[in-house]
């Protein structure tokens, strides 16, 4: 068995996996209605919202498409900061619905900042929405100024659509307080259910805008999901086993408490960063205060091949970590710090990282210090 430390999917707990072995029920019957209501209540807690959270049987990208396609149409202008691979994905979705992307130029490895957003709104009028990736999984950068950016966007009459696929449930994101109109996450990251469900909260204003839009997708039509939600159903056949798993994963979040969960994620990430520093490695995000909590992106040191490092870690030490996406392939490796992550996973990963680096010829100044530093932080 290998320890899965990629930046999602995270490893679901046994309780969650077992929940999927229950029998399949009628998705148009009272049992499913009850299940949906229970899930909905817990989702509102995790999203910190009073608004409905739509559940789609699709991966996270389906949730991004849902959030864009219900409000963006022909000729609509949308602002997107160019922070990484998943920002590019948002742009491709916008274009596929006929919208025009107005980029906010941001170098990979940096976050978008409020002044850049102000500037972008000065250049474009009638902006329909700003699309933000809260935690850029490809670069390990967290947009910490989201509340301020959201406020600026609302002042200019734009909707705020957030991809929180690798953050919600592990990093604080009070959706209502920060005025997020549509917040998207996936079942497989910080919530630690298996992959296959996308979850999208929608504000009143978002719903109104969606109702005004004439052309819509069939599978991703918001109104259909809201109408069926009233009946305790989904418009199309849901993945019932995944709904059971999501319910169980959410129960675990409620039992732990959202605040405690967020604290645990933070502590584990601090331990990772301390270890990385002790190994003399560089993290990819250029500004320390914008480093992600859930994705630790590390530059591969000179003389070491990223793929070799990942291979040794996986095959010899049983720890699977991620590589770089797109233009960062070969330059960085990424460690997932999400879901059920605890001291055990952190220390096993740090140990595997140090041992593999040493085996590949990287000089460790003080062997064992990374583990000691991580241990102290935990």
Ligand X SMILES: Cc1ncc(COP(=O)(O)O)c(C=O)c1O
Residues near ligand X, by CB under 6 A = 8, 59-61, 86, 133, 137, 163, 165-166, 186
**Position with the least CB separation from ligand X:** 60
Shortest Cβ distance from residue 134 to ligand X (Å)? 8
Torsion angle, alpha carbons of 119, 125, 127, 132, to 10 = -10
Nearest alpha carbon to residue 334 among 296, 362, 292, 372:
296
How many other C-beta atoms lie within 10 A of the C-beta of residue 358?
Answer: 14
Shortest spacing between CB 95 and ligand X, in angstroms: 17
Smaller CB separation from ligand X, 272 or 317:
272
Give the residue among 166, 202, 172, 201 at the shortest CA–CA distance from 187. Answer: 166
For ligand X, the closer of residues 137 and 203 by Cβ is 137
Contacts of 72 by beta carbon, 8 Å cutoff, 6+ apart: 78, 94, 97, 98, 99, 128, 129
Q: What 8-state DSSP symbol labels residue 168?
A: B
Give the nearest distance from C-beta 8 to ligand X in angstroms. Answer: 5
Task: Give least dist CB 51 to ligand X, A.
Answer: 21
CB-nearer residue toward ligand X: 274 or 310: 310
Minimum CB separation of residue 366 from ligand X in Å reads: 34
CB of 83 or CB of 371, closer to ligand X: 83
Q: What is the DSSP letter of 322?
A: B
The CA distance from 84 to 26, in Å, is 41
- Would you say 51 or 292 has its CB closer to ligand X? 292
Length of the chain: 378
Show Cβ contacts of residue 54 under 8 Å, excluding neighbours closer than 6 positions: 66, 199, 200, 201, 202, 222, 225, 226, 229
Nearer to ligand X, 88 or 124 (CB): 88
- Quote the least distance from Cβ 61 to ligand X, whole Å: 3
- Tokens coding 208: 């109104």
């Amino acid at each position: 068995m290998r320890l899965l430390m990629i930046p999602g999917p995270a490893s679901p707990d046994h309780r969650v996996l077992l929940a999927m072995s229950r029998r399949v029920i009628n998705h148009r019957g009272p049992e499913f209605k009850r299940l949906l209501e229970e899930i909905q209540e817990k989702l509102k807690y995790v999203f910190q919202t009073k608004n409905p959270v739509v559940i789609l049987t699709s991966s996270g990208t389906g949730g991004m498409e849902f959030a864009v396609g219900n409000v963006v149409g022909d000729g609509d202008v949308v602002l997107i900061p160019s922070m990484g691979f998943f920002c590019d994905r948002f742009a491709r979705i916008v274009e596929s619905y006929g919208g025009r992307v107005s980029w906010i130029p941001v170098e990979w490895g940096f976050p978008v900042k409020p002044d850049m957003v102000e500037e972008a709104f000065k250049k474009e009028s009638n902006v329909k929405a700003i699309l933000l990736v809260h935690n850029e999984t490809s670069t390990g950068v967290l947009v910490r100024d989201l509340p301020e950016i959201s406020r600026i966007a609302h002042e200019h009459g734009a909707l705020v659509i957030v991809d929180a696929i690798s953050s919600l449930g592990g990093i604080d994101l009070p959706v209502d307080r920060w005025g997020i109109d549509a917040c998207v996450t996936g079942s497989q990251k910080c919530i630690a259910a298996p992959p296959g469900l996308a979850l999208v909260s929608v504000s009143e204003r978002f719903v109104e805008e969606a109702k005004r839009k004439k052309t819509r997708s069939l599978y991703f039509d918001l109104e259909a999901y809201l109408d069926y939600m009233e009946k305790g159903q989904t418009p199309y056949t849901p993945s019932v086993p995944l709904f059971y798993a999501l319910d169980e994963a959410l129960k675990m979040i409620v039992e732990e408490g959202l605040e405690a969960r967020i604290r645990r994620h933070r502590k584990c990430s601090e331990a990772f960063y301390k270890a990385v520093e002790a190994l003399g490695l560089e993290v990819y995000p250029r500004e320390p205060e914008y480093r992600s909590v859930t994705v630790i992106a590390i530059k591969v040191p000179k003389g070491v091949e990223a793929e070799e490092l990942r291979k040794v870690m996986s095959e010899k030490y049983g720890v699977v970590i991620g590589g770089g996406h797109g233009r960062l392939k070969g330059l960085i490796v990424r460690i997932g710090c999400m879901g059920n992550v605890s001291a055990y996973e952190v220390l096993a990963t740090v140990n595997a990282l140090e041992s593999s680096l040493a085996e590949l010829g990287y000089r460790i100044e003080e062997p064992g210090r990374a583990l000691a530093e991580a241990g102290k932080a935990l």
